[in-house]
Amino acid sequence: MGNEAQKFVEVEVQRQDNADSNPYWEKFRVPYRPNMNVISVLMAIRENPVTTDGKQTTPVSWDMNCLEEVCGACSMVINGRPRQSCSSLVDQLTQPIKLQPMSTFPIIRDLQIDRSRMFDSLKKVKAWVPIDGSYDLGEGPRMPERKREWAYELSKCMTCGVCLESCPNVNSHSDFIGPAPLSQVRLFNSHPTGAMNKDERLNAIMGDGGLASCGNAQNCVVACPKGIPLTTSIAALNRDTTVQMFRNFFGSDHMVD
């Protein structure tokens, strides 16, 4: 055992010192351990930030939190594919492993990005269930089990941004809010209490950057690490906004569901 040659992981990282500087690449070689993920590799680089040609450099900057594919913070482009670095295992990746920041969002530094665009979109569509004060209102209406099952699938969204990165219609030249915020509209409109603001959410996505900007590329549903049926949500919202359009035109008093 002691005579076995040490294995290494070859990594190439696209780096950027700040939001206004130019990107550049650095190569690293870190000792291999069984069951390593990309986060483990980045931690090894942080402990010893020396490139393969012996140059001392700064530790790579990236975001992470839960380390179990729940928070969505560690999203990055790994070997050309946007995904979670905590669940990306070295043994399943081609080397050299190429790490890049998601290009849909402004870069803060290295692999760190500013996801404000996505969070602002969630504010725009009121992706929450409002409450009337902080006092105990008791239990709310129960959801039918069939409805609760598919709503739970939508609730798995961890705001990782992978669907926005994979969508060709989300870019610096477009104000399209993207698949994740749209799916959240469907989720909160299905909630018995959240449905009170259903018309506000639908009107929000009927404007600029809303449903009309979706090109139906369907990249999002393939890329989603949680397997959320994003395109199904978008199709359902197309129907809902059509009904809402008639409500707006004729007045809700003349419309029935």
Same domain as 120, residue 94? no
Same domain as 46, residue 172? no
Asked whether residue 230 is assigned to any structural domain, the reply reads yes
pLDDT for the residue numbered 254? 53
Verdict on whether the full-model pTM lies above 0.85: yes
Same domain as 214, residue 188? yes
Same domain as 120, residue 91? no
What does each of the 257 residues of the chain score in pLDDT, given as a tens digit?
Answer: 454 678 999 999 999 999 999 999 999 999 999 999 999 999 999 999 999 999 999 999 999 999 999 999 999 999 999 999 999 999 999 999 999 999 999 999 999 999 999 999 999 999 998 877 777 777 878 889 999 999 999 999 999 999 999 999 998 888 999 999 999 999 999 998 899 999 999 999 999 999 999 999 999 999 999 999 999 999 999 999 999 999 988 876 555 55
CATH number for position 159 = 1.10.1060.10
pLDDT for the residue numbered 205? 96
Asked whether residue 211 is assigned to any structural domain, the reply reads yes
Could you give the C-alpha distances from 192 to 122, 129, 197, 235, in angstroms and in order? 19, 9, 10, 21
Triad 70, 73, 75: Cα angle to 5°: 100
Same domain as 86, residue 193? no
Same domain as 156, residue 39? no
Give the bridge partners for 24, in sequence order: 15
Same domain as 194, residue 156? yes
Same domain as 89, residue 165? no
d(CA 79, CA 96): 9
pLDDT for the residue numbered 252? 61
Same domain as 224, residue 100? no
Asked whether residue 3 is assigned to any structural domain, the reply reads no
Number of domain units in the chain:
2
Could you give the C-alpha distances from 109 to 96, 116, 144, 171, 233, in angstroms and in order? 22, 15, 46, 19, 34
SS3 of 82, please? strand
pLDDT for the residue numbered 1? 46
Same domain as 121, residue 165? yes
Same domain as 38, residue 87? yes
Asked whether residue 60 is assigned to any structural domain, the reply reads yes
Asked whether residue 30 is assigned to any structural domain, the reply reads yes
Asked whether residue 80 is assigned to any structural domain, the reply reads yes
The sign one gets for the Cα dihedral 155, 147, 183, 141 is negative
Are 8 and 29 spatial neighbours (Cβ–Cβ below 8 Å)?
yes
- DSSP for 25-53 reads EEEEEEE--TT-BHHHHHHHHHHS-B-TT
Same domain as 232, residue 196? yes
Are 169 and 213 spatial neighbours (Cβ–Cβ below 8 Å)?
yes
Residue range(s) defining the domain that contains residue 156: 116-131+141-254
Asked whether residue 182 is assigned to any structural domain, the reply reads yes
